[in-house]
């Protein structure tokens, strides 16, 4: 009954890509630790680039500089 929280910046991940993440991480926990997929919960948070910082500045600013 693992719980996984994936946080990414909101930059256009599609429904299909999110479904792949959910499926992939659930499989990973089944394969590595034998966890039951039926009670594995995955929550994806998509965070605005203004609200995500790395290197002391927001991702919005980094994207403007081409990073």
- Residue span 7-46 as binding mask against its own copies, x where in contact by CB under 8 A, dash where not: xxx---x-x-xxxxxxxxxxxxx--xx-x-xxxxxxxxxx
User: Do 40 and 26 meet the contact criterion of CB atoms below 8 Å apart?
Assistant: yes
- DSSP assignment letter at 4: E
Distance CA 22, CA 26 (A): 6
Q: How far is the CB of 36 from its own copies (least distance, A)?
A: 9
In 10 A of CB 60, how many CB atoms? 14
Q: How far is the CB of 26 from its own copies (least distance, A)?
A: 4
Question: Which residues of the shown chain bind its own copies in the complex (CB under 8 A)?
Answer: 1-9, 13, 15, 17-29, 32-33, 35, 37-47, 50-61
């Amino acid at each position: 009954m693992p719980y996984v929280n994936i946080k990414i910046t909101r930059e256009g991940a599609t429904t299909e890509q999110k479904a792949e993440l959910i499926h992939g991480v659930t499989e990973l926990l089944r394969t590595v630790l034998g966890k039951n997929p039926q009670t594995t919960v995955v929550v994806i948070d998509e965070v605005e680039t203004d609200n995500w910082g790395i290197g002391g500045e927001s991702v919005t600013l980094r994207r403007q500089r081409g990073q």
